[in-house]
Structures are given as C-alpha cells and as structure tokens.
C-alpha cells in the first residue's frame, strides 16, 4: 500500500524577463554572468535569512500574537478531495509570529523579520497561499530545503527550477510531503460528505451520553467534517487493515471518560467492517461502560481485543473512612492498581487531564501525597507534572518496547460558555466549527507539562496532539443531547446541565482514531510496518 504522496504547490509569481539567445561580446557575457551570480545570491538570502535561525515547526504550540506580514505566503495547503469543500475564510497574507512555526498552513518566523520583495520583480501578490512559478530563467536546479521550519540551500527536498524560455515559471517541488514526514496535527477541518465511518444509530456499543443521534439531536452536519493537515494527506482508517495488523493482539485505552469516548469510537469503526457483527462483543456481556472498571471488546474473527481501563488520574487515588466521614488522597508517586490489567498490551493509549479540573484537584488542599508527606497545599499543574513523571517512570521500567507501542493522547478542549460543567456552562446552540483560528484558546499548560516529562523518557512514545484540532470543534459536543427527555420540564432543566466536554458519536473521536491509525503507520514497528 503506497501511502506516500507529493504535495503540489503552485501559485503565480510575477514574471522575470530574460533575453533570448543572442551573440554577445565578451564584456556582455561577463556582465550577464555577474547578474546571474547576483540573482542566485538574492534568491539564497531572500528565501533563507528571514526564517533560518528562529523558525521551527511548532504546530499548535504557536500562540504568540505578535505578528508581522510577509509578502510571499508559502503554504503546505493541499487542494481538498473532490467530495470535500474547504470552508475556511478566504486566503490571507501569511503571518509571521514571534513564536515561530506554522500558522494556518503558512510559514512563520519572528516579528523582527519583516520581509517584502517590493522594489524587485517580486511585486505581484502570491495567490492561494503557496508558491507559483517563474518560467524561462537561465538558472536551473536551485535547491532549498525546509528543515525545522528553515531553508537549507544544500538539501534536495525542495527544488526551485528556473527553466529556459520567455514566460518564466518558478516550480517548487516538495519531495518530503507524505504524511509520514509532516505534522499531521497541524491543519484545518474541511467538509467531507463521505463521513462518518458508521451511521448514527448503527452502533449499539455507544453509551447513551455520547449517542446524540439516539438522543434526537436535530442537526447532523457535525459528522461531515474531515481533518486536513496542511502538509499532507492522511489515510482514511482502513478498518480491515487495522484489524489485520491487530490480529492476535491486545489494544488497551487507559484513562478517563474522554478515552472511553475514543474507545467506543474505535470499536464502532472496526465493527462496521465485520460482516457477522455478532462476532464482536464485550466479553462480560455488558452494554454500559460508565462505571469504573475493565471492559474488553473481542473481535472473534481476528482473535484480538480492544479494551478500556478506567483510571482517570493514572496514579492512585485512595479513600479513608473516619468518624467524621471520609476523605480522599491522590498518591502522586504510585501508579493506579489497574496496571495489572494492561501491562502486557501490544498497543497502549493513555490519557489524563479532565479530572484535574475538579474542585479537590484544583484546590489541592491536604489532597496530594508523596510517600508519607501530605501537601497542605499544592498547585494542580505541579501535581499533574509529578503524576506524569510517575507514569513515565513506570512506562520506562515496565514496558517492553519491542512488544508494546505506547501512545499518549493529548488534552481534549472544552467549549463551555457562561460557566463550567458544574456551573451552567452552555454549548447547545453550536452547529458549526470555529473557522477563525484567532478565536482558539492557548495551547494547554497541562500539555506543556506533559512535553517536559516526555523529553526525559527513554521509551519512544507517540503523542496524539489533538488539542488544537478539538478546539475548532465547538459544534461536536452532546450538550443537551446527552439523554432523551421524557418531559418539557426535563428538557428545560437540561439547558442548565450540559455536556460540552465529551463528544457525540459518530463525531470528533473518530478523527482521533484516524490519526491514531496514521501515527501507528508512521512509526512502522512490528505489524504496523508498511
């Protein structure tokens, strides 16, 4: 299966005028040679210097708002497939951020590096956010590379061919644009009428809280979106191929209810490919999965299981009963006792985050413990980092990287308006994604804490960095459609108690699993080698 694709990048630059073949004097030939050398130098300096030292691909970590304009917006944006319609705002000039990286598919450098080609032949605007072409220059094979967000004139990944002729076409070829080499988490949502992977109401293994179709949500446009990375195409999730690679193996989701959201999505996607659906079942016969515990779906035809282990903090929460009542502590230095349920898995997908926003964890008063020490007060972000360090040490010590691939799924952004989950927050009137990236939230501090821990780990970890792509999707939550109401009074009361954290199924978590599939193929280990 050939999954590598080249990204065509084409737009119009203003034309160069170069003389046609003439008999010239020695002096004229020397003068012409001088201008050719000068032109090469101009290209090298103009393309390389603005973003050489400071620009790096940072994807969704690009949050600094200090910007300056650049007149040549280089974009990785691909033309969507025939059945997809790009709903983004009309292309604008590329913006250079002082934080560096890629923003809205364009290169960004620093705010001090304002660049303009005015006063040269590059005065026409570049359309659609990508390079066009200049024909008929007497230069050829001028090569630059995009490496860590900067240009390298010695690489062969990007070729600028200035060909002989009169009309002038500058052709930019991107030779490293397969999804295996791009940031698949940096992109945009586009309309796609081929979605979803399974019809609303067709999968019986979705908890009622997530089944917006069953709960009579009146609109269904929220399932008709595809995640389109700026630099490449990603493969659709081939359910038969996924199951074949998982044959005889065990995949486990470990974490909170957002991972349960993703687990149910994957079960439904893969089940859709099975002819005899009775051969897909939860091994204990359960049909609801909200209670804490261990759940396993067996795919009989492939001798594999896809499991969910409830462990909202990953580390151990303990309860104590005293005469005055009970109290709880979170042991930041000990893993949850559920590790025995998944330490032998072939694929492990962890998450933790949303339970760290609750009152006990947010206040952190006499709640966090390490060894015999109970912290009178500890900031939640500090506690979160300590818990992740405990998780990382456990992974490095107990996971055989030759057998098991470990994945950590990032924080799923919420969209409460007018309050939080427990104080009247709302999202029930949202029917479209966010289209303007300036309305997105900052990169979550919890994920910066995770990245700090990740840098210290020995075992290779896949990071599903889904925070930014979920931030766009304010339309995808169950909101008031997390249950079916038996009376008008119940429906009115539901407006004050909405779910703007979890996601409707089918819906956004299907895309997480699509990116999981692509990420496993990118790693190319074991049965996931292409």
Taking Cα atoms as reference points, which of 309, 280, 266 lies closest to residue 520?
Answer: 266
Length of the chain: 530
Residue from 503, 505, 483, 504 nearest 495 by CA: 483
Q: CA–CA distance from 239 to each of 230, 274, 517 (Å)? A: 25, 9, 9
Question: In the structure encoding, which two tokens stand for residue 300, read together?
Answer: 């009989």
| Choice among 256, 499, 510, 519 that is catalytic | 499
Token output for 374: 């109970």
Torsion from C-alpha of 297, 303, 304, 307, nearest 10 degrees: 30
The neighbouring-strand residues paired with 174 are: 7, 158
Q: Hunting for tokens 């169950």 — which residue is that?
A: 478
- Asked if 158 and 145 count as a contact pair (C-beta separation under 8 A), the reply is yes
Which residue is listed with tokens 């600094």? 64
Q: What would the two tokens of residue 459 be?
A: 């075992």
Active site residue 502: yes
> Cα–Cα distance between 152 and 145 in angstroms, integer?
5
Catalytic residue, from 471, 502, 510, 519: name it.
502
Question: What does the block give as tokens for 285?
Answer: 């016969």
8 Å CB contact between 93 and 48: no
Which residue in this structure is represented by tokens 């104080």?
423
Q: Active-site residue among 257, 273, 389, 519?
A: 257
Sign of CA dihedral 118, 124, 126, 132: negative
By the 10 Å C-beta count (0-12 exposed, 13-18 middle, 19+ buried), 76 is classed as: buried
386, 450 contact by CB (below 8 A): no
User: What is the distance, to the nearest Å, from the Cα of residue 423 to the centroid of all Cα atoms in its chain?
Assistant: 29
94 is catalytic: no
CB atoms within 10 A of CB 482: 21
336 is catalytic: no
For 317, residues 6+ apart whose C-beta sits below 8 A from its C-beta are 328, 329, 330, 331, 336
Which residue in 144, 138, 140 sits closest to 72, CA to CA?
144
Active site residues: 257, 499, 502
């Amino acid at each position: 299966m050939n999954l590598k694709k080249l990204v065509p990048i084409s737009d119009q630059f203003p034309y160069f005028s170069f003389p046609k073949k003439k008999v010239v004097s020695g002096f004229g030939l020397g003068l012409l040679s001088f201008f050719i050398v000068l032109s090469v130098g101009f290209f090298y300096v103009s393309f390389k210097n603005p973003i050489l030292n400071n620009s790096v691909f940072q994807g969704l970590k690009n949050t600094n708002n200090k910007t300056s304009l650049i007149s040549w917006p280089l974009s990785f944006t691909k033309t969507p497939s025939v059945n997809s319609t790009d709903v983004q705002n009309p292309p604008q000039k590329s913006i250079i951020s002082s934080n560096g990286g890629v923003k809205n598919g364009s290169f960004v450098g620093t705010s001090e590096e304002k660049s303009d080609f005015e006063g040269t032949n590059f005065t026409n605007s570049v359309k659609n956010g990508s390079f066009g072409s200049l024909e008929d220059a007497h230069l050829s094979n001028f090569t630059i590379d995009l490496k860590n967000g900067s240009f390298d004139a010695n690489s062969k990944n990007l070729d600028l061919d200035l060909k002989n002729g009169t009309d002038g076409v500058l052709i930019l070829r991107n030779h490293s644009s397969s999804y295996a080499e791009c940031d698949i988490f940096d992109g945009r949502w586009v309309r796609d009428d081929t979605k979803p992977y399974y019809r609303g109401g067709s999968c019986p293994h979705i908890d009622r809280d997530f089944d917006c179709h069953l709960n009579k949500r009146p609109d269904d446009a929220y399932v008709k979106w595809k995640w389109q990375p700026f630099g490449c195409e990603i493969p659709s999730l081939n359910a038969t191929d996924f199951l074949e690679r998982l044959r005889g193996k065990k995949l486990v989701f470990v974490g909170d209810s957002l991972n349960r959201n993703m687990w149910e999505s994957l079960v439904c996607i893969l089940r859709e490919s099975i002819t005899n659906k009775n051969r897909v079942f939860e091994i204990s016969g359960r049909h609801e999965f909200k209670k804490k515990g261990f759940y396993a779906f067996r795919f009989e035809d492939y001798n594999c299981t896809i499991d969910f282990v409830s462990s909202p903090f990953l580390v151990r929460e303990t309860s104590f009963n005293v005469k005055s009542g009970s109290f709880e502590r979170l042991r930041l230095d000990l893993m949850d006792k559920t590790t025995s349920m998944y330490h032998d898995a072939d694929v492990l997908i962890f998450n933790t985050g949303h339970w760290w926003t609750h009152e006990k964890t947010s206040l952190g008063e006499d709640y966090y413990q390490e060894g015999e020490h109970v912290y009178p007060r500890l900031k939640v972000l500090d506690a979160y980092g300590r818990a992740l360090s405990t998780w990382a040490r456990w992974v490095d010590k107990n996971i055989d990287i030759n057998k098991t691939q470990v994945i950590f799924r990032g924080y799923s952004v919420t969209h409460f308006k007018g309050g939080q989950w427990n104080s009247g927050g709302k999202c029930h009137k949202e029917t479209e994604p966010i289209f303007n990236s300036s309305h997105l939230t900052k990169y979550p501090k919890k994920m910066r804490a995770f990245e700090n821990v990740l840098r210290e780990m020995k075992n290779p970890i896949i990071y599903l960095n889904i925070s930014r792509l979920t931030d766009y999707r304010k339309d995808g939550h169950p909101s008031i459609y997390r249950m079916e109401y038996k009376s008008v009074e119940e429906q009115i009361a539901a407006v004050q108690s909405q779910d703007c954290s979890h996601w409707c199924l089918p819906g956004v978590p299907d895309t997480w699993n699509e990116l999981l599939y692509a990420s496993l193929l990118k790693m190319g280990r074991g049965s996931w080698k292409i």
